[in-house]
Amino acid sequence: MDDLRYWLGFNLVRGIGPVRLRMLLDTFGDIRSAWEAPEQALREMKLERRSLENFLKIRHQVDLDEVLRRVDGMGIHVLTWDSPDYPDLLKPIADAPPVLFVRGAIIPPDEWAVALVGTRKATVYGREVARVLAADLAQNGVTVVSGLARGVDSVAHRAALDAGGRTCAVLGSGVDCIYPAEHRKLADAIAENGALISDYPLGTQPEAANFPARNRLISGLSLGVVVVEAGLKSGALITADFALDQGREVFAVPGSILSPASAGCNRLLRDGANVVTEVGDILETLHLNQVSEKQMAREVLPTNAMEAALIGHLSAEPRHLDELSRETALPVEVVSSTLVMMELKGMTRQVAPLQYVLAREPAEEYVVDDSTKEAE
């Protein structure tokens, strides 16, 4: 938390993005040292003049404690490159943002995410396709990612929520500045069942230049990008380009050759994008056919050394507390308290006094690393 203020400070500096910040960290070692670096040392790095001037000005004028209080007061979760819960899908991309503002929560199952994007001026056909695909993805345990814009984006978010699924919206403004304004209720619902995400500081108003840049996050947070309906100049095609650069799969929904609204999709298909006629085309290509089963398997994986020790001795056959204590060489009281926690998590069941079984079979293989087991 002490270092978070410096991440927030750099986020306010125009001209210091991922590349220049990485250079500062490599030079000075950590975020605080970079923020407090002597002016002469900064000049010797030969930073671009305007970027350096912006940094020195912000460092002199901004009260970082006040910035931190504002974030805390709004209940915004901030993720940085150093955060353990920074999204794994986003982290490897070339220009992964150093800071993410999250209203709501990004959770582990969100790594099974697909972006649905398209024109703001969606036709009846485009809106219906977006609704069907988003609902089907949500019902298959896949998180739907989009940009909260009018048209295809808003239809996809609403359909995912209506289907009982999760959805994440990436904004071209601060997460406290919802655009368009008529989507504020939708944004609130997304924050309750997913996340509003932005790399722009709080208070940033929606400017035209922000939206193409935010599209790299829509694709970066997703395993694949589906362009539902798009004209030849649609911003959705920018998202598809980012997806290709990031090594993501690109999908497109075919449309009438007479419809300008489908011209962009049809061109993507001509250039080799995956065709989508039903949700199965997406699930099969991205190997997402068994997301629900994968989530269930993850739930029964051990999360600490005691659980790891016990789970290898549990099965569908009842095992007595004393047996488990002897076989794991753990004190009875430790085994007992661990089993109680495992039962609360749905990992085990007590089928008779002091007799325990696995509630579900875990994944066939798992490894122990730093006292934690995760699916390979």
pLDDT tens-digit readout, 58-76:
999 999 999 999 999 998 9
Residue in the block written with tokens 């993805």: 137
Q: What is the rounded CA–CA span in Å between residue 22 and residue 82? A: 12
Does the domain at 300-375 match CATH 1.10.10.10? Answer given as yes
Helix 152-162 vs helix 124-139: angle between axes, to the nearest 10 degrees?
40
- Show the tokens assigned to 279: 């949700």
Q: For the segment 255-310, what is each residue's pLDDT rounded down to a tens digit?
A: 999 999 999 999 999 999 999 999 999 999 998 887 766 665 555 566 677 888 88
Residue-averaged pLDDT of the chain: 89
Closest by CA to 133, choosing from 218, 261, 262, 226, is: 226
Q: What is the pLDDT of residue 63?
A: 94
Distance set, CA 317 to CA 320, 325, 336, 349, 359 (Å): 10, 16, 18, 11, 11
DSSP for 84-96, written as a single string: TTS-TTTTTSTT-
CATH code of the region 103-289? 3.40.50.450
Q: What is the pLDDT of residue 294?
A: 61
Q: What is the pLDDT of residue 371?
A: 35
At a CB cut-off of 8 Å and minimum separation 6, what does 233 contact?
264
Are the C-beta atoms of 293 and 271 separated by less than 8 Å? no
The pTM (predicted TM-score) of the whole model is 0.77
Closest by CA to 83, choosing from 103, 99, 107, is: 99
Widest pairwise Cα distance in the chain: 74
At a CB cut-off of 8 Å and minimum separation 6, what does 72 contact?
none
- How would you label 107-145 residue by residue, b for 16+ Cβ within 10 Å and e otherwise? eebbbbbbbbbbbeebbebbbebbbebbbbbbebbbbbb
Domain-by-domain residue ranges, the chain?
A: 1-73, 103-289, 300-375
Closest by CA to 236, choosing from 226, 245, 244, is: 226
Closest by CA to 81, choosing from 34, 21, 27, is: 21
Are the C-beta atoms of 221 and 90 separated by less than 8 Å? yes
Q: What is the pLDDT of residue 330?
A: 87
Stretches where the chain sits below pLDDT 70 are 1, 292-303, 345, 360-376
> Residue length, the chain?
376
Q: Which amino acid is residue 218, in one-letter code? A: I
